Structure 1
Amino acid sequence: MRYYLRKLAFYLVALWAAVTLNFFIPRMMPGDPVDILMAKLQQRGGSVDPAARRAYELLLGTDSDEPLIRQYVSYLGNMVRGDFGISVSDFPTPVSTVIATSLPWTVALVGIATVLAVLVGVVLGVFVGWRRGTWLDALVPATTVLSAVPYFWLALILVAVLGSALGWFPLIGGYDVVLTPGWNAQFIGSALYHGVLPALTIVISSVGGWLLGTRNMMVSTMAEDFVLTAEAKGLRQRRIMVWYAARNAVLPSVAGFAISLGFIVAGSIVTEQVFAYPGIGSKLLQAVQNNDYALMQAIFLVITVAVLAANLVVDLLYGVIDPRTRTSG
């Protein structure tokens, strides 16, 4: 029990540190979200008086007359209540609404793509490692090269070939704009159809790393005594591969998969930008361009919580799987 309490305390301190940095770093950046909002209003022909500017400062939580430490305390209180303020880039929409509408797109896209990449990479890695030294090993350099290709370059290639030249898939967007978003077969089908190219980009870029890692672990595991003992007993090759070698070789991949799930909410900013996908990555880029402190802080907070939660789950699972970590940690 002490092991689990120590881990929980560590991650709570890490969360507090991340939240604190999340508050101060955007305020160190040049520019002021109120100035940006005032400029937008003036471009639309509106007049801005000091009273209106003061009202917007209070609304956006950037009160220049309030000490920074009081802003920090107010930020912590609002965060606990789920009040992240008003978004400048989507004014006057609340930040919580912006995240609620964009987060499901990224979770669905990057989540499904990550699961597919892990499954394909691990299965291929098991077979390639089991048949080491054969022609299957030629797959490893090809997939690792694809993993080194930048996201945006691969996305542009897929758009040019599969989208523009062949016309198999739509070029941009998350769904057909003539449809009304909702839980119906037509909209879900359109969302899946528009998500093929972005998901394919993520899968192709990620599968090589999972394949290489699993292949190397398979080669290492097959040299262990328990695998050699199983072979000496005359067990079937398929049983040895699945229940002896692969079962132990995929453990690091399982841990890596759990950690990668934490980064799902971060999305793939570049991929979403190329395909104009309505995910949280594009909202983060939009927030940075507009000095939208409130939206930046909320998105960073969601990403931080997801990553820390995934790491905490992995640490706790390792404590269950391998009791030795509870005594050494």
Structure 2
Amino acid sequence: MTAIDSSLPPQEPDAISAGTTATTAVQGRGRIPWRFLGNRALFYLFTLWAAITINFFVPRMMKGDAVDQYLARNRNVSPEAAEALRALLGLDTDKSLLQQYFEYWNLLLHGDLGVSLLHGLRPVTEVISQALPWTVGLVGFATLVAFAIGTIGGAIVGWRRGSRLDALIPITTFLSTIPYFWLGLLAIALFSVNLGWFPIGKAYGVGVTPEWSFEFIGEVIHHGFLPAATIIIASLGGWMLGMRNMMLTVLDEDYVMVAQAKGMPNDRVLWRYAARNAVLPQIQSFALSLGFIVGGTIVMEMVFSYPGVGKLLLDATNAKDYALMQGVFLVITLSVLLANLLADVAYAFLDPRTRQTEA
């Protein structure tokens, strides 16, 4: 036997035995894409700074302010009291916009969103915290149900293309084209006025004190069923149409044909191969919907007199209550950015191409 020369450089491993780049990416499928997530986090931090800056300057470019609106409703306020109110709200003219901007950031970092003149100088955080659960509970639940039904239904319709199920697409699309306020008014006229099945509006009955009891929860569900149903009907068509179109694209891919050629059960091919890849674009849209849940549906809350964040924002805008407007916009911005960040994380784990790009 010949001895192995130790002076020779180590040989490169065979490319086939070591695996290609794609094989290495598949083998490292469980690795967390830190670079991708870090880049997205930096992008969202910059977006948050820009949104907060715009949120500060835009209301101050409007004509008049909250004190002017308050003085128009209360003629007996002295000039000294008006100046004190402006100083309390951070609207005093003795400070420049840049000074007010830095003070706003200082208060914001300490969790102080100011006080609302519209609500009797109550803290903005307290006002928003009372309206936020109603919007998240109603609009959030309706959005989740609409997304689940539309995505599953669209996947089934796309899988069985050419069948009678295709009739669901134009029906749901037509319902989505109806203006929401008109759909809500029709629902109130039919189910509340004529049939008397549901209350006309509000989150609970007049004179009822909110409490954690089965009676109160049942009343909240009874009052919220009609607005939730109209939200689901109005948004179902978009989810179903989008998922159905993506299914038609995915079904022509090679991996779906190979899975069917191997004799895999249709249910497994549908849910583990076709629907799993077709749902990826839906995630971004769903993230945006989750973010805008906090903003609420202003039209819905106006039609059904629902005490949510959307109506709160509309009242604050009409009264030019800067502190309340900025607080609501900040909550909406944070919710949208957080929802998009979570969607990017989910996308990175569901789509191997994201991890392969980092590798």
Q: 2:339 aligns with which of 291, 310, 325?
A: 310
The residue number in structure 1 matching 2:120 is 91
The residue number in structure 1 matching 2:27 is none
- Give, in angstroms, the shift of residue 233 of structure 1: 2.1
Confirm whether residue 21 of structure 1 aligns to residue 50 of structure 2. Answer: no
| Letter in structure 1 aligned against 2:338 | A
1:287-326 Cα offsets, whole Å, 9 max, x none, are 0111111111100011011111111222233333335436
The residue number in structure 2 matching 1:247 is 276
C-alpha distance in 2 between matches for 1:221 and 1:327:
20
The residue number in structure 2 matching 1:265 is 294
Describe the SS at the equivalent of 1:132: coil
| 1:242 to 1:323, Cα distance in 2 relative to 1, 3 A | closer
RMSD: 1.6
Describe the SS at the equivalent of 1:9: helix
Confirm whether residue 141 of structure 1 aligns to residue 170 of structure 2. Answer: yes
Confirm whether residue 108 of structure 1 aligns to residue 137 of structure 2. Answer: yes
Confirm whether residue 153 of structure 1 aligns to residue 187 of structure 2. Answer: no
C-alpha distance in 1 between matches for 2:349 and 2:87:
49
C-alpha distance in 2 between matches for 1:223 and 1:268:
38
The residue number in structure 2 matching 1:5 is 38
Trace 1:22-37 onto structure 2 (pairs within 5 A): 22-37=55-70
C-alpha distance in 1 between matches for 2:346 and 2:168:
32
The residue number in structure 2 matching 1:200 is 229
| Letter in structure 1 aligned against 2:155 | V
Describe the SS at the equivalent of 1:195: helix
| Letter in structure 1 aligned against 2:229 | L
C-alpha distance in 2 between matches for 1:300 and 1:194:
27
1:148-189 Cα offsets, whole Å, 9 max, x none, are 222111111111111111111111101112211121111111
C-alpha distance in 2 between matches for 1:80 and 1:22:
15
The residue number in structure 1 matching 2:106 is 77
The residue number in structure 1 matching 2:256 is 227
| Letter in structure 2 aligned against 1:16 | W
C-alpha distance in 2 between matches for 1:108 and 1:129:
31
- Give, in angstroms, the shift of residue 327 of structure 1: 7.0
C-alpha distance in 1 between matches for 2:164 and 2:309:
41
Describe the SS at the equivalent of 1:133: coil
- Give, in angstroms, the shift of residue 241 of structure 1: 2.0
1:11-55 Cα offsets, whole Å, 9 max, x none, are 11110100000001011111221111223332xxxx322221121
- Give, in angstroms, the shift of residue 328 of structure 1: 5.4
C-alpha distance in 1 between matches for 2:263 and 2:344:
37
C-alpha distance in 2 between matches for 1:121 and 1:251:
14
Confirm whether residue 130 of structure 1 aligns to residue 163 of structure 2. Answer: no
Give unmatched runs, 5+ long, in structure 1: none
Trace 1:202-217 onto structure 2 (pairs within 5 A): 202-217=231-246
C-alpha distance in 2 between matches for 1:55 and 1:102:
28
Confirm whether residue 53 of structure 1 aligns to residue 82 of structure 2. Answer: yes
- Give, in angstroms, the shift of residue 206 of structure 1: 0.6
Give unmatched runs, 5+ long, in structure 2: 1-33
- Give, in angstroms, the shift of residue 67 of structure 1: 1.0
Please tell me whether the aligned partners of residues 66 and 321 of structure 2 are also in contact (alpha carbons under 8 angstroms): yes
C-alpha distance in 1 between matches for 2:355 and 2:266:
35
Q: 1:41 aligns with which of 61, 74, 94?
A: 74
Give the TM-score normalised by structure 1: 0.94
Give the TM-score normalised by structure 2: 0.86
From the CA coordinates, give the structure whose radius of gyration is larger: 2
The residue number in structure 2 matching 1:298 is 327
Please tell me whether the aligned partners of residues 283 and 343 of structure 2 are also in contact (alpha carbons under 8 angstroms): no
| 1:243 to 1:318, Cα distance in 2 relative to 1, 3 A | closer
Describe the SS at the equivalent of 2:148: helix
C-alpha distance in 1 between matches for 2:59 and 2:283:
35
Please tell me whether the aligned partners of residues 280 and 347 of structure 2 are also in contact (alpha carbons under 8 angstroms): no
The residue number in structure 2 matching 1:280 is 309
Count of aligned pairs between the two proteins = 325
- Give, in angstroms, the shift of residue 271 of structure 1: 0.5
